[in-house]
Amino acid sequence: MARPPSLSPSAVLPSPHQHTRPALLILNQPVSSTDLLERLWAHSDYRICADGGANRLFDAFVHDHVRRDQFLPSQIHGDLDSLRPSVRDYYAAKGVPISRDHDQYSTDFGKAVKQITAAILIMCTLGGRVDQGLGLLYEMLRIQLAYPDTRLWLFSESSVSFILPAGRNELHLPDLAYFTENVGILPAFGPAVISTKGLEWDVTDWPTSVDGNVSTSNHVRSPVVEVTTSAIVLFTIERAERLP
């Protein structure tokens, strides 16, 4: 029997001494925490701003120009309609590559993902406009389906979220240094039937949908959590207030 997909949320924050680390994608959304930005920056090898994401990175250090120079992205990419001229001039003068994608059928999120592969840490906010938050989740799904070998991790104000594919999934949580015990399994992309092991309130063959049962406010009770699902679902876990 083939082993189920094995996921370790902690693996997206490996030691800085490791040679293979994920990329960091900064979207055109407010940087809610410079501490989170700094931590994700330290745990990534390649940092890309999706168009106006460069504005957000620039503005995050509006009162500290010295530190701003220490956080130069590897690339700025998108249709560049949101990139402020002054910000573009600043990063161009610092030698940051700036590239344009004229594709009108993809978002800047999608355009940026095409420039990178493997695991991608995404700085985002889910606490603003509802339509933008849902749009981000749906764009995440489209990208995940288009690039099945790419793993996307959304770092929002208080959580890390990622897609679980249909089938049996193992999530390795050997400790909660990076996260709290609080998790949710959300049918954000359509109805599913799920079974779980390793949570405080496990379920078996449990139908979940946006107009029915939704598994929220559950708690991790095992270093390995199993989630078997009939369809793609969104798994979310609360991150620690400060990343190690």
Q: Where are the domains of the chain?
A: 20-157, 161-239
Residue 35 banded pLDDT, cuts 50, 70, 90: confident
Structure tokens given for 108 = 């800047």
* Residue range 161-239, CATH number: 2.60.120.320
Angle separating helix axes 34-42 and 53-60, nearest 10 degrees: 110
Tell me the whole-structure pTM to 2 decimals: 0.83
Which residue would you say has higher pLDDT here, 60 or 119?
60
Residue 112 banded pLDDT, cuts 50, 70, 90: confident
Q: Which of 8-22, 92-106, 173-187, 218-232 has the highest mean pLDDT?
A: 218-232
What pLDDT score does 49 carry? Answer: 95
pLDDT tens digits along 6-23: 565 655 544 443 446 789
Domain covering 20-157, topology: Rossmann fold (3.40.50)
Q: CA of 124: how far to CAs of 23, 24, 180, 201, 225, in Å?
A: 14, 11, 19, 29, 25
